[in-house]
Homo-oligomer: A and B are copies of this chain.
């Protein structure tokens, strides 16, 4: 069995071998650029780990894993257009490096290339169904995300549903696709899906948490970016739910202010979060999702020591926070 570092190398090697030096250059160069920028490759790693968990050769799932990673990067590319995000992983996003039309179309082509890899899967029909259902849910999640940015009073429940669709389902689907490749039982497909959903929820909520409470060196992004951008994260939504009138007024004041000192705004909002114990509430929620993930992993019907690799990977994600 392979660990996450070994699988990451395998996946990066497979991605390097993609033949993307095709014409027209304005279509393929942005795809190459997007793939080469890198990333943690969490989804394909999980896919290959699930394949090995159920005692199949990871190579049988490699095409599907590559398809999943390409699809994930396609969604980031299109999200960056929609969010007008100038940077992605420290480099100019595609629509800034080229232009919006090129970003739109090369994203479309990436999603087709993703399907071309999925089409090389063992147990094609089952995997294709999971993949398309997931892809559609990701679109739904992104639309809810955009809708919420224009909506007052998003509830915690609505927010959790949104991140489940936008983030958790692809984590879960990656694992299930590995399991289907390895002919795992329906019951174990459900178990590993449950593991993935809860892991994905925890992972996204961690991102929200770390953006405000993270260690800048470990997190790799400036702290407080979400606060500066008025992003509707779990922290903000929960704070608005718990805040008294005075606090709500103060939050609204900062949200509506067009010109401000960034540090001052971050500190003011964090101060309100601290008064409401938002950090603790977040950490508890994250812990709960991790515990649910753990229980789902436990219930999978394979020998305990086959689960070590997934368990270690899950812990390495979990202890990003505490």
Contacts and interface: CB of A to CB of B under 8 A. Distances in A.
Given A26-B147, A139-B112, A105 B132 contact: no
A14 interface: no
A248 interface: no
A31 to B, nearest CB: 10
Interface string A184-228: 000000000000000000000000000000000000000000000
Contacts of A107: 108
A82 to B, nearest CB: 4
Instruction: Specify which of A78, A101, A139, A142 lies most central, judged by the most chain B CB atoms within 10 Å of its CB.
Output: A139
Interface stretch (A123-131, A167-175, A305-313): A123-131
A37 interface: no
Nearest to A22: B140
Given A116-B132, A119-B125, A129-B119, A24 B108 contact: no
B82 A101 contact: yes
A242 interface: no
Contacts of A133: 116
Contact of A143 (B24, B135, B142, B143): B24
Q: Copy number in this complex? A: 2
Interface string A66-90: 0000000000001001100000000
A254 interface: no
Nearest to A134: B112
Contact of A27 (B22, B26, B111, B139): B139
Given A82-B104, A124-B128, 12 more contacts: A24-B147, A26-B147, A81-B101, A101-B146, A107-B108, A108-B139, A109-B140, A113-B136, A115-B115, A115-B128, A119-B129, A119-B132
